[in-house]
Amino acid sequence: MSLPSYKRILLKLSGEVLMGEQQFGIDTDYVARLAQEVKDARDTGLQICLVIGGGNIFRGMAGAAKGMDRAQADYMGMLATVMNALAMQNALERLGVPTRVQSAVQMDQVCEPVIRRRAERHLEKGRIVIFAAGVGAPYFTTDSGAALRAAEMKCDALLKGTSVDGVYDADPKRDPAAKRYETVDYDTVLADNLKVMDASAVALCRDNNIPIVVFSIREQGNLARVLSGKGTQTIVKKDA
Ligand code: UDP
């Protein structure tokens, strides 16, 4: 299915894709490969905002499950997303792509704070802006951060690059009969609790009419294929 030609996208990468084949942390070779794909997309003239999760390092829910205070654990999760953002910034700049990291938790020595107008200017100048620390508050995820920045930066679409190639009506790992949707509307995703992004992120995209394109970033070259309409993906949108 062909996608409309986007001028500006928000690309959300789950933290776990930065692990490559590892069980934890950051695989720098794999991050370099991801950075090359992002560069290739940007070299077509596309403006790119990036949001990277932190699940490869720390998730607040996992800390809370082991008895930590949830908010405290979530702060640690937010810091993990900053580490990932810096890793990706490094990989992109090694390829000669100018980038800026803007964090929702202020860290002046390390990166800029989130300032929409400044981010706008970076994009106009061809820089990639990596938004770190989600929405900057506990009890949220980077999916919500991605939806928020996509709305704030008026992105044409939110592309969610993850380990599966779309949205299924059941868990494809457990149910061999699970079917992948080509398109599905926001309300079905919410009512059927389909695994796309958390509900607050989906609702924010719905309310701002931002299509969500779910695809596998693990397949090499897939970002370009998806952007050119030749990839495998699910599009969550209005009136699907
Ligand atoms: N987090 C948070 N507020 C936010 C974004 C993230 O508290 O606005 C914390 C939360 O603990 C989360 C962790 O950061 O578990 C890592 O983000 P996420 O789970 O979204 O990463 P992903 O699953 O995409 O790798």
pLDDT tens-digit map of 32-63 = 999 999 999 999 999 999 999 999 999 999 99
Q: Is residue 22 part of a domain?
A: yes
Give the mean model confidence (pLDDT) for residues 222-229: 94
| Domain with 101 in it | 8-236
**Contact assessment for residue 131 and residue 114, using Cβ atoms and an 8 Å cutoff:** yes
The 8-class DSSP code of residue 4 comes to P
Ligand 1 nearest atom to the CA of residue 74, by list position: 11
User: What CATH number corresponds to the domain at position 178?
Assistant: 3.40.1160.10
Residue 140 CB less than 6 A away from ligand 1: yes
Q: Is residue 52 part of a domain?
A: yes
Please write the tens of the pLDDT for every residue from 79-115: 999 999 999 999 999 999 999 999 999 999 999 999 9
Residue 160 CB less than 6 A away from ligand 1: no
Number of domains forming the structure of the chain: 1
Q: Is residue 151 part of a domain?
A: yes
Distance CA 60, CA 138 (A): 8
The single residue listed with the structure tokens 């508050």 is 137
Distance CA 77, CA 54 (A): 6
Tell me what pLDDT residue 5 has.
Answer: 82
Closest C-alpha among 147, 118, 149, 144 to residue 131: 149
Distance CA 213, CA 226 (A): 9
Q: Is residue 3 part of a domain?
A: no
